[in-house]
Amino acid sequence: MGRITLDKVTKSFGDTNVIPPLDLTINDGEFVVFVGPSGCGKSTLLRLIAGLEDVSSGQIRIDGEDATNLAPAKRKLAMVFQSYALYPHMSVRKNIAFPMKMAGVDEAEQKKRIEAAAKALNLTDYLDRRPGQLSGGQRQRVAIGRAIVREPSAFLFDEPLSNLDAALRVNMRLEISELHNQLKTTMIYVTHDQVEAMTMADKIVVLRAGHIEQVGSPLELYREPRNKFVAGFIGSPKMNFIEGSVAAQHGAHTIGIRPEHITASETAGLWQGVVGVAEHLGSDTFLHVHNTGLTDTITVRVNGEFGLRHGDTVYLNPEMDKLHKFDAQGLRIA
């Protein structure tokens, strides 16, 4: 079981209010991702759930029981830290065994769980090494192994992939998703990377300055962002925002259109502009189009290769049914 409820939780450091009253329910078995720009309070929120910080007011319930003032160890949660926080003087085996040793699990059971975790995480050959002798990805897996063997009711991940290189990050993303499918345990994952949020989450919580901007499945957030902030944060490359008369034609203060919902043409289209930088990814090309008279730059995603060069004129056709409309406060107009 791992149902976590936050009820009007607040946190302030001195006079600085980091988390205003916040309500959130995380259901058993869910993969929840807290995402937001740095300094939005997502790590603080995770540490409040872990018990590493005390809440200033409000209540945290784990499986229906009040855990607000419970010591971290008693909450049956396991955490994977950004720096992995492995114990450098212990072997991998001892690192993984540490939480069981503290809990007084008997030796035979310890051995069994270590073997199982090592097998699942491809660490069997490295059990007698020290963390210092492992690569970043291996260290990450040891940290996960240390969390698994406790058989916690929920896993907490604090930006676990931010210290890995890009290729490894993609791998570890898959491995963590796979792990979630196997264990079916609640996982709370903090990241500033919206790609990680989109690819891994059952439910995304978008945070800004401690406030929850929107909660929903990745596709809900992509299709129906509640406001301009979520619209700009979810999706890569970023959504284009256009204000002024064009927006007014659609009865909005601002309209938003995603780069993948604009088609580019060499001959004819609704909008006209000049090609700036073109980023060739092979599968796609991102065009940065200037001088459209709408906004500084419009980003367009074109499938495959595209013939135009820097300085050429390009015509753009937005898919009108995929348009997002926002009012002056930045809220979505249905």
Partner 1 sequence: MATQHSRSAARLMLAPAVILLLGWMLVPLIMTLYFSFKNYLPLRGGDLGWAGFENYTRFVTSSSFWPSVATTLIIVGGVLFITVILGIFLAILLNQPMWGQGIVRILVIAPFFVMPTVSALVWKNMFMDPNYGLLAYLWEFFGATPVEWLSKASMPSIITIVSWQWLPFATLILLTAIQSLDSEQLEAAEMDGASATKRFAYITLPHLGRAITVVILIQTIFLLSIFAEIFVTTGGAFGTKTLSYLIFQRVLESQNVGLGSAGGVYAIILANIVAVFLMRIVGKNLDA
Query: Contact residues for partner 1 (CB under 8 A)?
Result: 50-52, 72-73, 77-79, 81-83, 85-89, 98-99, 102-103, 130, 132, 146, 150
Cα separation, 222 vs 211, whole angstroms: 19
**Smallest gap from residue 52 Cβ to partner 1 (A):** 5
Q: How many CB atoms lie within 10 A of CB 230?
A: 23
Cα separation, 175 vs 225, whole angstroms: 29
Specify the residue, 52 or 219, whose C-beta has the smaller distance to partner 1: 52
**Smallest gap from residue 51 Cβ to partner 1 (A):** 8
The radius of gyration of the chain's CA atoms, rounded to the nearest angstrom, is: 23
User: Amino acid identity, residue 186?
Assistant: T
Q: Which of 2, 15, 16, 4 is CA-nearest to residue 210?
A: 16
**Smallest gap from residue 194 Cβ to partner 1 (A):** 25
**Smallest gap from residue 149 Cβ to partner 1 (A):** 10
**Smallest gap from residue 250 Cβ to partner 1 (A):** 49
Specify the residue, 102 or 270, whose C-beta has the smaller distance to partner 1: 102
Specify the residue, 79 or 179, whose C-beta has the smaller distance to partner 1: 79
Specify the residue, 137 or 160, whose C-beta has the smaller distance to partner 1: 160
**Smallest gap from residue 71 Cβ to partner 1 (A):** 8
Specify the residue, 81 or 271, whose C-beta has the smaller distance to partner 1: 81
Report yes or no: 301 and 226 within 8 Å, Cβ to Cβ. no
**Smallest gap from residue 81 Cβ to partner 1 (A):** 5
Q: How many CB atoms lie within 10 A of CB 56?
A: 14
Specify the residue, 133 or 303, whose C-beta has the smaller distance to partner 1: 133
**Smallest gap from residue 224 Cβ to partner 1 (A):** 37
| CA 153, chain centre distance (Å) | 21
HSE toward the beta carbon, residue 277, CA cutoff 13 A: 4
206: CB partners within 8 A, 6+ apart: 35, 36, 212, 213, 214, 215, 221, 229, 230, 233, 234
Report yes or no: 231 and 316 within 8 Å, Cβ to Cβ. no
Helices (H), 184-261: 194-200, 218-223, 228-233, 245-249
Specify the residue, 79 or 242, whose C-beta has the smaller distance to partner 1: 79
Cα separation, 90 vs 48, whole angstroms: 28
Residues paired with 241 in a beta bridge: 256
Specify the residue, 111 or 130, whose C-beta has the smaller distance to partner 1: 130
Tokens of 215: 């909660």
Cα separation, 97 vs 109, whole angstroms: 10
